[in-house]
Chains A and B, each alone.
Chain A
Amino acid sequence: MKPADHMYAEVTRALLYVALVALATSLIIHATLNPGALEELSKIINGELNIWAPQTPVDYVPLYAIYFINLIVPIGLIYVLPTLFKENKLIAILTVFILILLTLMILTVEE
């Protein structure tokens, strides 16, 4: 069986490539189907905009791509957790702590 660090590197690499392609694609789709997003950039450069929320269905495309890339680390950690438990229980417990913190962060801020 592969060690946890190899497994983590492999799974995060695969996910990162998918996520970067998804980000680039979502950017093109968003800018093409919602030119308003480019107009907002003019406001941003002048400091007139500091908050962004999806307004139209196409706005969810880049949003979900960004969600996905930010889930790479938790997915990678969950994937290697059983192996980590076999390698070193203390580090595995710390990893559970990290995962709990990340999950709480995602859930509590959303409220």
Chain B
Amino acid sequence: MADVISGLLVFVGLFVLSFVIGIIAPLAGVGGGVLFTPIMLGFTSIHPDLVRSAGLAIACYSSIMAGTVYFRQRIAPFRLILLASTALLPAAIIGAQLGIYVAALGTWGQGLIRASLGILLFLIVVLLSVKRVDWPTPRCNSRLIDVFGLRYVYHEKTLNRDVEYCPTGLGLAAGLPLLFLVGFSSGFFGLGAAWALIPIYNLLMNLPLKVAAASASASLAIADTGALWGYILRERFHPELFIGATLGVIIGANLGAKLLLIARVNFVRRLILAIMIFNGIQLINRGLFEMGIIPHRLF
């Protein structure tokens, strides 16, 4: 009975933590999965496979939810996302399979995952700070755009006019290999990837910032579905953790999206970036210790 009560307390704790992560993530401009996985890997002893499958589920289901809104409004281009998924999906599957393999190597492998995720967190913080372009001039004269039907128009309420957009042909060609790397990191680490997709869509493919952000949110549903099947069918998940964390983050994110309208976003954003940096240091510290590279954990 004592074990059941302690398990119940663990569940409530995990749910509350996931809920809080769900609330603060939109305020910081990141997805819940980007905070959930590093925090759980850095500060708990839960096995990386269980954390990553839950993190992937959060990223995947949040992305499906985003798609239900953005595809209807044409803010996210469905055909471009299908095209992107041909690179994201195989990469995410390879990443997930390799992630499971590395974690199965034991403490050394788990340390490698933690340390590399810590390094990736610093890259995420840098990419979140990169300046973006709100309304780039559309250049839809590439034949590639016509062949794939990637010219879109949506009504922008803030400008009270229709906005035409399309990716540039060159950006599309250069972006697809990068999407492969993004898909791989999503599958390997069990992370969302809006932090990487927004710069690719906005700065490389020349999509308006709002379209890039919506597309990034809706992009990972297909890829992460494939990666998740790898974790689920290899039994690398636990239903209470998986479902509790997913529901916690999704419910929290809905509240966070409403708070976004009234909260002091700059303060929260800086706070989250500081937490991510600290989390990155902690992951590298713990990872290097588990790999046997440093003899003692620094803290």
Q: What is A's interface to B at a CB cutoff of 8 Å?
A: 4-6, 8-10, 12-13, 16, 20, 23-24, 26-27, 30-31, 35, 37-42, 44-47, 49-53, 59, 62-63, 65-67, 69-70, 72-74, 77, 84, 87-88, 90-91, 94-95, 97-98, 101-102, 105-106, 109-110
Contacts and interface: CB of A to CB of B under 8 A. Distances in A.
Interface of B: 3-4, 6-8, 10-11, 14, 44-47, 49-50, 60-61, 64-65, 67-69, 71-72, 74, 78-79, 82-83, 85-86, 89-90, 93, 103, 147-149, 221-222, 225-226, 228-230, 232-244, 246-247, 250
Q: Which of A37, A44, A69 has the most CB of B within 10 A?
A: A44
B179 to A, nearest CB: 13
A82 B130 CA distance: 40
A51 B79 CA distance: 37
Contacts, number: 175
Contacts of A30: 239-240
Given A39-B3, A91-B83, A27 B67 contact: no
Nearest to A13: B68
Given A27-B239, A42-B3, A44-B238, A105 B93 contact: yes
5 contacts: A31-B8, A42-B6, A42-B10, A47-B47, A70-B229
A97 B222 CA distance: 12
B6 to A, nearest CB: 5
B68 A9 contact: yes
Contact of A88 (B10, B47, B72, B149): B149
Contact of A12 (B14, B50, B68, B79): B68
A70 B225 CA distance: 6
6 tightest CB-CB pairs across the interface, nearest first? A38-B7, A50-B47, A5-B78, A47-B45, A62-B239, A13-B68
